[in-house]
Amino acid sequence: METTESINARTRPLLYVLTLWSPMLLGFTAYESQLFLTSLSISQHQQLGKCFDGRRAGESVADAEFGLRPQELTLKEKLEPSTDLPQVLCKIPVFVYQCPTWATTFAECTEDEELPLWRRTRTKETGVFCWGEPGLYWFGTEPCSAKIWNCSTGACSGYLKSARLCASDLEAKAYPCYFDPTDADAGAQRNRFVYWTYTGLLSLFLGLLSTFCLCTIVYITRHTLWQLCMSGPRACAQSVCSPMAKFGYLLVAICSTIIILEWVIMVLIMPGQTGYSLLGAGIMPATHEGMQVKSLEPGWESEAEVPKGFNEPSFMAKFARIFMLVMQIYVGIGLLVLCIYVALKCGAFRRSADTANGYQRMEQPSRQTNE
C-alpha cells in the first residue's frame, strides 16, 4: 500500500513545474483575453464613415497635413542587442465624417457639413530605416539627416524621403472607412473591423489550462495545507523557517542577484548594447508634426520606394551584436547552472555531515554502556 510520503515524493517534481509555470500562464491568458475583448468591442461599435486624409471636406490635397514619427521599439528590442534599425512612419490625421445609422453604402453619405466629424490617425510604413544618431556597433549605417536617399528631385535625407512617400500615400478623394467612435486608438481603416476568433479560442483554452493547473496544485498540496492549518501558527512558522526553507530562500536570492547583476551589466553598463545603455545607445529619429504637402517640391505623386536593405548595418556590426547577445545568454545560463551545482554540492555535504554526526551520537551511548 502506497503511503502519503511516496505519493508526495512522486508528485513533488510536478508541483515544482506547475508552481513555476502557472503565473506565466495566467499572465499570458490575461494578455490574450484583453486582445480578444478589445477587438470584439471595436467590431461591435464600428461605424461607416467618409474619410479625408490630412484635410477636411472641401480642401485640396495640397492643403493636407501629416507628420513623421519613429517606429516604437518593443521591450524585447530595447533590452537585447538587436540588429534592426527603427523605421520612420507616416502619421496621417484622418478626418472622418460619420455616415447616418440608416446608411448601408458609401454612396448614401452626403452633405459632409451636416455629418458628425471625428478625427482619427493612421500610420503608414515608409521603408526608411535609420537612427537619429547611430550608437556604437552600428557600422555602415547613416543617420536620418544624411543625404544618401534618392528622391525624385535628387539626393535627400531620410526625413525628406519619408515625407514625400507619405504625401504620395494620401488619398486624393474621399474614401469609405470604418472606425469606432468610442475608441480613438483603433484608428480608421478601409475594411470592416473583425474580432480575432483564433485569439478568443486561444484565450478560452489558456483559461481552462490555467484553471486545471491551479486545481492540480491545490489537489497535490491539500494534505500539507490541511496539516498546516490544523497545527496552528507556531507549526507554520517552524515550517517556513526550517533549515531547508532557509536554504531555498538563499538559493533563490543568489539566482536573483546573478540575473539582476547580469541585466545591469549587459543592458545598462555595456556601451551601445541596448536602447537603455548609459553610453553609446542609438537615438531614435526625430518626430515631425504639421508637415504640409504644398511645402514639398513637385514630383511627390510618383515618388519611388526605398530599395529593400538600404542603409543596413554592415556584417561586422551584425556579427558583433549577435555575438554579444549569445554571450549574454550563455553567461547567464552558465552562472545559474554553476550556482545550482554549488548549492546541490553544499546540500549534499551538509546532509552527509548531519548523517555522520547522527552516527556519532548513536555510538556514544553504546560505548558508555560497554565501559
Q: Facing residues of 303 across strands?
A: none
Q: What are 183-236's pLDDT values in tens digits?
A: 888 888 888 888 888 888 999 999 999 899 888 888 877 766 666 566 656 655
Maximum mean pLDDT: which of 83-87, 88-92, 299-303: 88-92
Residue 237 lies in a domain: yes
Does 239 have pLDDT greater than 70?
no
Quickly state the pLDDT bin for 23 (edges 50, 70, 90). confident
Cell 551601445: give the residue.
272
In a domain, 371, yes or no: no
Give me the helices (H) in the chain, please. 4-45, 75-79, 158-169, 197-220, 222-231, 233-240, 243-263, 315-370
Q: Report, as an integer, the average pLDDT of 100-124.
A: 83
What total number of domains does the chain contain? 1
8 Å CB contact between 91 and 69: yes
Q: Quote the pLDDT of residue 234.
A: 63
Residue 26 domain flag: yes
Predicted pLDDT of residue 251: 72
> What share of the chain in percent tops pLDDT 70?
82
Q: State the pLDDT at residue 261.
A: 80
The pLDDT of residue 245 is 66
Q: Is the pLDDT of residue 157 over 90?
A: yes
* Residue at grid coordinates 519619408: 162
The model's confidence at residue 283, banded by pLDDT at 50, 70 and 90, is confident
Checking if the pLDDT of 293 tops 90, the result is yes
154 is in which domain, residue-wise? 4-359
Task: Kindly report, residue by residue over 257-266, the tens digit of the pLDDT.
Answer: 877 887 787 7
At residue 195, the pLDDT reads: 82
* CB neighbour burial string for 224-252, b if at least 16 within 10 angstroms, e if fewer: eeeeeeeeeeeeeeeeeeeeeeeeeeebe
Residue 319 in any domain: the answer is: yes
Residue 368, in any domain of the structure: no
Confidence of residue 362 (pLDDT cuts 50, 70, 90): low
11: pLDDT strictly greater than 50: yes
Q: What is the pTM of this model?
A: 0.71
More confidently predicted of 344 and 239: 344
Residue 112 within a domain: yes
The answer to whether residue 369 is domain-embedded is no
Q: What does the mean pLDDT of the chain come to?
A: 81
Q: Is the pLDDT of residue 168 over 80?
A: yes
User: Which residues, other chains included, contact 73 with Cβ-Cβ below 8 Å and sequence gap of 6+?
Assistant: 82, 86, 275, 284
Assess whether pLDDT exceeds 80 at residue 154. yes
Per the domain annotation, does 367 fall within a domain?
no
Residue 147 has pLDDT above 80, yes or no: yes
Strand 47-53 and strand 87-98: the pairing is antiparallel
Question: C-alpha distances in angstroms, 139 versus 2, 99, 135, 316?
Answer: 66, 52, 9, 7
